[in-house]
Amino acid sequence: MKNPLISIVVPCYNQAQYLDAALQSVLDQTYSNWECLIVDDGSPDNTKEVASQWVAKDERFSYLHKVNGGLCSARNFGIEAANGEFILPLDADDKIGKEYLSKGIEVFLKDSSLKVVYCKAEKFGDASGVWELPQFSLHNLSRSNMIFCTALFRKEDWKKTGGYDENMGHGWEDWEFWISLLKNGGNVHQLDYQGFYYRIKAGSMLLEIDAEKSKELLEYISVKHADFFVKHYGSFKSLEHKKLYLKREFESNLKSEKFVTDAFLKKFFRFTLFGTQKKQR
């Protein structure tokens, strides 16, 4: 298919005030073969009223309602209902550039090895500027996430992963999903195009993840994807050996440096003392 259907899934919970801007950025796309599923995750605000206006404006928009279950649950619900071969998640408070779909699908259709296509990003809202992210590699992905949620992937690949893990209720669900999607193969392409706009606002989930929740999330991901992390870092035993080796090497260097320093100081004080005695004579 030269123009496959792309399903844009927009979960919304207490984000109705930003929803118009997100959906306008969808409507402005130069690529026309898309559908947009607005998923109301049991939101107590006026999400339904805002979404209904867009459904009336363009038949490519549709409104879905579900009992509140969190971001992962809402995304999975929307993707399950989607008709498109390709999926693009979009949070209700973010925006996409006009050519994101057209440029993304063009690259996808040229390379069958691709599993993810994304672009360059920019912040707006309470902070602005280019969102600098590390270059993608599986090793870099094992350290932290560098692909934001609004990236193109095939619905079929989403099915194979089991979808977004709904146990990731405190955040980092995108990182876990990309690991699931990519750890067993498949390429990633970043467009040389500024096509994603990430809204920064007070109280963002990303900023609310405290140390205890971070520890829980890291432990959960480490156990679930132990094969992935062992591949990039070795077993826990090899890590223990490496830690011990580095400790011994550090202690050895410290002793060596101390020896050199002591020798230098001894010589320096000797010279100083000798020079002083000469002058006194």
> What is the reported pLDDT for 170?
85
What average pLDDT does the chain have? 88
Distance CA 93, CA 197 (A): 9
Domain that residue 279 falls in = 238-281
What token pair was written down for 177? 């999903």
pLDDT for 239 beyond 60: no
> What is the reported pLDDT for 214?
84
What token pair was written down for 90? 């979009």
For the residues 67-94, what does the mean pLDDT come to? 98
Give the pLDDT band (50/70/90) at residue 41: very high
Q: What is the CATH number for 14?
A: 3.90.550.10
Q: pTM of the full predicted structure?
A: 0.83
pLDDT for 183 beyond 90: yes
**158 shares its domain with 268:** no
**207 shares its domain with 139:** yes
Least confident of 97-111, 216-230, 233-247: 233-247
**136 shares its domain with 252:** no
With respect to residue 101, please indicate whether it lies within any of the assigned structural domains.
yes
With respect to residue 104, please indicate whether it lies within any of the assigned structural domains.
yes
Could you give the number of structural domains in the chain?
2
**38 shares its domain with 69:** yes
pLDDT for 266 beyond 90: no
With respect to residue 1, please indicate whether it lies within any of the assigned structural domains.
no
**85 shares its domain with 181:** yes
